[in-house]
Amino acid sequence: MRKLTVLWIILLALVNTGSAEIINTTGQLFLIEPGARSMGMGGCGTLLGEATGGLYNPAAQALIADVAGTIFSNPHPYYSSNFAFLSLTAAARTEFGYFGASYLSRKGVDGSLYPPEEASALVLAGRPSKRIPLALGFALKILTTQKANFIPINQSPASTYKMAFDLGAVYNGLFPKWTIGQADLEDHDLRMKFGCKFQRGLSFGLAFQNLGGRVKFEQALDPEMLPQTFRADILWGTFESRYGDVKVAGQLQKLLVSRNEQGGYASATTSFFQAWGGGDRQGGWTSRLGVEISALGLISGRIGWSIDHKDHRSYQYRGIGLGPEWLRINAAWVRESVRDVSLEYQSRYDVSANVSFEQMRRWLKIN
């Protein structure tokens, strides 16, 4: 426990807390957390074994059950209540590795930084070896977007297309003895019937997202950067027993975007290597922490926090999951506090499925 505390303090010490500045990038769709279970834990959903994990880190697909899927509705994201977000995600394990596909859609807000956007993603991850549980992943994305606050001469906001890609790595199951308790599950236990395999010990993930440079718009002078992002994740399977379990997750995120002195966006390579310094024209760090407590594989409660260190915004999260882990309805409520102003909780919902072939054989009573 002391080792984890020291590690987390060191990571937080790297966080920059510079002055606030809006980074007006296209592709804001890629910054929305597409999952109510993850939301309930402060956004720390990369390593939970959900189908949506591939959208945070493509290598996280190696943590899912044999078949996984999620339908997610987010009616009030981004400090605004008048546009909606929807994601459909599916993933499966094959003989050669893991395959996932997603569709994301978000309505726009007139006169804001959020034009309507759609995106599709193809996620591929290799199967880790038994000796070294390290998985590598790659995701290809196609974004359809419009330029915010811009109307061409013909008065019709033209859409443009842009391709981007993600790179990720996940190391799973380090120090399994750090998990407290032993499950000793039997076939008649509820956790055996309704739960999924528990991840003991520590899991780590690193990812670079939305790489691919700038987006050029028709009849617009200045291109815009995609929200290139770095994520570092940790998941600790804290406690396991026949009746319940506890998971603790943390995440650090950095927006790798910078502006040049003329007000335009720097090249992809420049922003990538210089954004770590956290200059005045660059995105800031975000830190997240979340806890999930599950009982009998049938119900779970969640709590989480996140801090946007550059804009000095903090968020509080609560969540609940009902039903077996292999087909669970999840809800999350998010509250933002900024400059002594607290917003009311806003809700997010999803339905997630994580099914293993072993569970299917038990349902069908196949030996």
pLDDT above 80 for 61: yes
Spatial distance between the Cα atoms of 25 and 307, rounded to a whole number of angstroms: 20
Residue-level pLDDT at 274: 65
Scanning the structure block, which residue is given the tokens 């992943």? 137
pLDDT above 60 for 367: no
Residue-level pLDDT at 12: 42
Instruction: Judge contact between 354 and 64, C-beta under 8 A.
Output: yes
As a whole-number percent, the residues of the chain with pLDDT over 90 amount to 29
Residue-level pLDDT at 265: 72
As a whole-number percent, the residues of the chain with pLDDT over 70 amount to 74
Q: What is the pLDDT of residues 154-205, one digit of tens each?
A: 666 677 888 999 999 999 988 888 899 877 767 667 777 777 788 889 999 9
Q: What is the pLDDT of residues 65-99, one digit of tens each?
A: 888 889 888 776 444 444 678 899 999 988 889 99
For the four alpha carbons of 198, 67, 136 and 256, in that order, the dihedral sign comes to negative
Spatial distance between the Cα atoms of 76 and 296, rounded to a whole number of angstroms: 32
- For residue 205, give the amino acid letter: G
Element (H, E) at 10: helix 2-13
Confidence of residue 11 (pLDDT cuts 50, 70, 90): very low
pLDDT above 80 for 353: no
Instruction: Judge contact between 315 and 305, C-beta under 8 A.
Output: yes
pLDDT above 60 for 47: yes
Q: Domain 2-364 classified CATH 1.10.3470.10? A: no
Instruction: Judge contact between 229 and 209, C-beta under 8 A.
Output: yes
Confidence of residue 243 (pLDDT cuts 50, 70, 90): confident
A 10 A CB-CB count for 260 gives 12
Question: Strand, coil or helix: what is 230?
Answer: strand
Residue-level pLDDT at 16: 39
When the pLDDT of each residue in the chain is averaged and rounded to a whole number, the result is 79
- 335 token code pair: 């509250």
pLDDT above 50 for 302: yes
Residue-level pLDDT at 83: 63
Residue-level pLDDT at 59: 95
Q: What is the pLDDT of residues 265-290, one digit of tens each?
A: 776 667 666 666 655 566 778 999 99
For the four alpha carbons of 114, 306, 338 and 76, in that order, the dihedral sign comes to positive
Residue-level pLDDT at 36: 86
Q: Where are the domains of the chain?
A: 2-364
pLDDT above 90 for 104: yes
pLDDT above 70 for 53: yes
Confidence of residue 17 (pLDDT cuts 50, 70, 90): very low
- For residue 230, give the amino acid letter: F
Average the pLDDT over 342-363 and give the result.
Answer: 67
Residue-level pLDDT at 346: 64
Q: What is the pLDDT of residues 306-327, one digit of tens each?
A: 998 877 788 889 999 998 888 8
Residue-level pLDDT at 10: 40
Spatial distance between the Cα atoms of 212 and 280, rounded to a whole number of angstroms: 23
